[in-house]
Each structure stands twice: as C-alpha cells, then as structure tokens.
Chain A
C-alpha cells in the first residue's frame, strides 16, 4: 500500500482539483486514473517510477554545502540536444492544438474548455523551454520553419478528419513525448544518483529542470488520458494513423537532437 500511495502521489496529474493533495490517492476514481495513466505509456515508465522520489526542497541543501556535481562534455551535449528537442516538441504541440481547435470545437462545442486547457498548458511548456534555451544559450533547431509547417498541417488535417482523429493524433504524439520526457528524467536522475554516490549535489538549475521535466511529463500524460477518454480509439483507420504519427514524431525527435 505504501508503494502504491507514493506512486499515485508522484504520478498524480496536476489538473485543477480541489481535493487536498494528501487525501488525493484515497479517492478511488483518482487512483484508478493515475494507474491507467501509468500503464498507458510504454514500458519505460516502470524503471523510472520507483526511482523517482519527490524532488527535495532547495532548503535541504543550505545546511551543509556539498561540492557541486560537474557536468562532463557528454552530459552538456545531452542537455543541449534535450532542450532543443523539447522546445521543438512544445512548438509543434502548440501549433497542433491551434490548428485543431477550430474544427473540433465547431462540431463538438463541449470540447472547447478541454482544448483550451490543453492548449494553455502547452503554451506554458513552450515558454518554459524558450526561457531555458535562451538562458543556457542552446541552439534552437535549424528545422524550426519545417516543424512549424509540418505541425500546422498535422493539426489541421487531423482536425478535418474529425474529433476522433484529432484525439488519436493527440494520443500518438503524447505517447511519444511522454516516454521521451521520461527518458530525460531518468538520465538526470542517474546523474543525481552518481552525484550522491560521490557525496556531491546537482546545481539548483538542474534540480529545477528535473522538477520541470517531471511536471511537464505528467501534464503530457494527462493530455493522453483526455484523448483516450474522448474516443481516440474510435478513429477510423486507427492503426495506420497512430503509427504514422508516432514514427513521424520519433523521426522528428532524432533530427532535432542533431540539427
């Protein structure tokens, strides 16, 4: 039970809810949702979840100052490409929702709040990564105009195909993005474990980045949940559509890591 509660707490979607945080996992519906959310992504989640304690508050470190964990050249390159990919991904996500919303809302007005909620969260993520890119002087992807056009087209075309296709598009994209964020969280956690083994600590920027990545991953997986609730699985050529989008996402991630 202890493991389950901590798991539910760490994966609880941060959607607007009035229930106090501590009692959250006691509500059966929330528990069920977070469990489904946990299972709905790829298996890479399993290894990351148990090793994901809640990030320590920064006040913990002020007592005894440990030496800082120095990043190697390889780790810098990892962060460089990770931030570049994440910014490109969030750019695409905002554009997809922008292009989908008019068509989806036109035939299903009750989805307006949901689309707006998801769009607003994506804009928040995009701003986060824009700031990180500027702060850490990371080169943005050279494919920026290409992703701009491709994402707008993807959002528009799935919007034309109808609500189910639009939701299937969201499902496919968020599945890829969620597991991608999860890989990054696991990588930074492995640095953290190494730092602790050496008696060092990560700098506050990295800690903040880790917390941000986790929050954003959970929000993306929440979008995935919303998409499945709204009949993403009913999309007509479901498998070809979802597979096409997923492989497209994978290719875009690989390309954005390099250029």
Chain B
C-alpha cells in the first residue's frame, strides 16, 4: 500500500531539515515499546544521503495507526509498583520523537499543526508523518502536559526537590509542587490560552480531565499524601480545581517570578483547607451527638 503523497513529499523536499533531534527534553524515547506495524515502508537512504542514523529505519504508518491510545494512558490509573514502572504517556517511539522536537517550536508557533510539521522535519521525518498523531495539535498539548508531569516527578525523585532544606508538611509540599508545575507552563505563557481553548473543546474534554486528574494524583502522591478513604476524592478535586484556576491566572500574570500567581495559589489552597476543616468539624460534631444519644439510650436500659 504505497502512499503517493508520501513519495511526492519525499522527492520534492528531499529531507532538507536533517538536524538531529535535540535531547533537551526529559523524556527519552522509549526503546522497549512495540512499534506500530508498518504498512508502507520507505527507506530514505535510497533517495538522499543522510547523516542521521535514525533515518535509515524510518517507518511511516498510515492514518489508522493501530497503537492509537483510546485513553491517555490506562496504566497510569491502576496498580503502581516500583517493580513494574509506568510511563507518563503511551506514545510510541516515533511519536515521542516528533512531539519532543515539535515542543521546541511551540514558543514561536504555538500548539499548532505548524509546530508539529516543523518538529517532524527537525527529527528527520517526512511532513506526512504528522499523520502518526491523529489528534493533531491536541496530541501536542497532551504530550506537553504528560511530559511536564513526568518532569515534575523526576524533579522530586531524581533532583531531590524536598530532600534538601527543612521538613515540610504535606500542604506546603502541595503548594510547592503546584507552583513548580505552573512555572513550567510559564515557558509557553503566550500560547497557553490557545491551548486551554483547544482543551475545552467538547471532544477533548474527557482526555483533558483525565490528564488533570493524573496531575492532581501525582502531586498528592509526590507530596506524600496517604489518604485511603473518601478524602482521596475531595483532595484530588481540590488540587485539580486550584491548579485549573491558577493556570488561568498564570497566563495573565506579568509580575516578576510569577509572584501574583504564587499568592493566588496560597489563597486558594487556604480556602480549600478552610472548607475541608469545616466539613470535618460538622461531621465530627454529628458523630459525637449520635454516639451520645446511643450511649444515653443504653444507660436507660434500651436494647440498642
């Protein structure tokens, strides 16, 4: 099944942009992953001399790639174990390469098809290989979110964000992690409102919320939260709500070092805590009254 468009693009352009992909991104391409089954294979060595060894086994799949993940990454939701590590995203090797290269064009070109195409060229892929990413620019946004989430984890686990300095409470750690994550978005601050608009499109909302949940889950896990009851849900909702609100504030923040955003996060988190404390107090009060009533009844000889 040879695709005429890809051949055309190949001869017309001749892979002029053959710079090697920069390794500035934290996520190295996964080598152990299954490659999508190639339906048409083009060896670029037949048409042009190349200095990039990756191009020798360049494969291009058609639009219906079998490996397209339905959910963002089902493995991030289930059982975690040090013996069975999980990846922050489910993109394949070539997808990760294109997306990583495309992220360098985001500050100038935004989260757009244009950035994807330029990234594909940088990585030594053909223009058509953007088809590897069926969701287009939304894939770029999702990859940004997932890779920044992985970066946040490595900041704590590898760089020791909390290991130096005084012992912090879980609440302090949550605020620090929220700010760390928001500072990463500051790199693309001017493009971020567009990205938020794309995320809020109807068909993209489920995956966006799934990614937001994954971020809240990671932040609470990294902060050392060990809740195993209904507060598991309320805490994740609180973190997600604070992050989403602060994300908007960050795009309009012009202060040095995102100071206004930092104050906003602190205020919102204090609010969330106040609500939580109030609810806990009400519940404890009701429980106390209930047990008092039962104890009183028993002391009167009722068989309750």
Contacts and interface: CB of A to CB of B under 8 A. Distances in A.
Interface of A: 68, 70-71, 73, 76-77, 79-80, 83, 87, 102-103, 106, 130, 133-134, 136-140, 142, 144-145, 156, 160, 203-206
19 contacts: A68-B83, A73-B74, A76-B78, A102-B298, A103-B304, A106-B298, A134-B226, A134-B228, A137-B80, A137-B221, A138-B78, A138-B80, A140-B229, A140-B232, A144-B230, A145-B230, A203-B83, A205-B82, A205-B83
B232 A136 contact: no
Contacts of B82: 205
Interface residues of B, number: 22
Interface in B62-86: 74-75, 77-84
Contacts of B227: 134
A136 B230 contact: no
A71 B217 contact: no
A160 B302 CA distance: 10
Contacts of A134: 226-228
A130 B232 CA distance: 12
Contact of A144 (B80, B217, B229): B229
B12 interface: no
Given A71-B84, A102-B298, A83 B79 contact: yes
B80 A136 contact: yes
Given A70-B84, A130-B228, A136 B79 contact: yes
A77 to B, nearest CB: 5
A145 B79 CA distance: 23
A140 B217 CA distance: 13
A87 B228 CA distance: 9
Contacts of A68: 83
A256 to B, nearest CB: 13
B233 interface: yes
A98 to B, nearest CB: 11
